[in-house]
Amino acid sequence: MDAILNFFRWQGMIKPAQIRGEIPSNKAIYKRTYQIAWPSAVESVLIALIGAVDLMMVGNLGSASIAAVGITNQPKFLVLATILALNTGVTVLVSRRKGAGRREEANTYLRQALLLSVGFSFLLSFCGALFAPQILRFAGATPDYLDLAVTYFRIIMFGNFFYCIGLTITAAQRGVGNTRISMVTNIAANLVNLVFNALLINGLFFFPRLEVAGAAIATAIGNIVSFLIAVYSVTHTEGFLKLHKRQSWKPDLGAIRDLYNISWSAFVEQIFLRIGFLMYAKAVAGLGTVAFAAHQIVMNIMSISFSVGDGLSIANTSLVGQSLGANRTDMAIIYGKVAQRIGLILAILVSGSITLFRAQLMALFTNEAAVILAGETPLIILSVTVLFQIVQVIIVGSLRGAGDVKFVALLMFVSVTIVRPVLTWILCYPLNLGLVGAWLSVFLDQFTRYIVSYWRFREAKWTRIQV
**pLDDT tens-digit map of 361-397:** 888 888 888 888 888 899 999 999 999 999 999 999 8
In this prediction, residue 51 carries a pLDDT of 65
The band of 145, judged by pLDDT with boundaries at 50, 70 and 90, is confident
The pTM (predicted TM-score) of the whole model is 0.73
Contact 176, 92 (CB under 8 A): no
Q: Report the greatest alpha carbon distance in the chain.
A: 69
The band of 50, judged by pLDDT with boundaries at 50, 70 and 90, is low
Q: How many CB atoms lie within 10 A of CB 103?
A: 15
Contact 277, 77 (CB under 8 A): yes
Q: How many CB atoms lie within 10 A of CB 205?
A: 6
In this prediction, residue 345 carries a pLDDT of 92
Phi-psi sector, 466: left (phi>0), alpha (psi -120 to 50), beta: beta
Of 299, 330, 401, residue with least CA distance to 69: 299
Render pLDDT for 292-334 as a digit per residue (tens, 0 to 9).
888 888 988 888 888 778 878 878 888 888 888 888 888 999 9
Render pLDDT for 154-163 as a digit per residue (tens, 0 to 9).
999 999 999 9
Helix, strand, or coil (residue 404): coil
Give the length of the chain.
467
pLDDT averaged over every residue in the chain? 86
In this prediction, residue 467 carries a pLDDT of 62
Contact 220, 79 (CB under 8 A): no
For Cα atoms 409, 415, 419, give the angle at the middle one, nearest 5 degrees. 145
Distance, CA of 179 to chain centre: 14
Contact 409, 401 (CB under 8 A): no
Question: Euclidean distance between the first and final Cα of the chain, in Å?
Answer: 41
CA-to-CA distance for 10 and 4, rounded, in angstroms? 12
- Torsion angles phi and psi, residue 126, rounded to 5: -60, -50
CA-to-CA distance for 37 and 314, rounded, in angstroms? 7
Of the listed ranges 170-179, 222-231, 437-446, the one predicted with least confidence: 170-179
Phi-psi sector, 177: left (phi>0), alpha (psi -120 to 50), beta: left
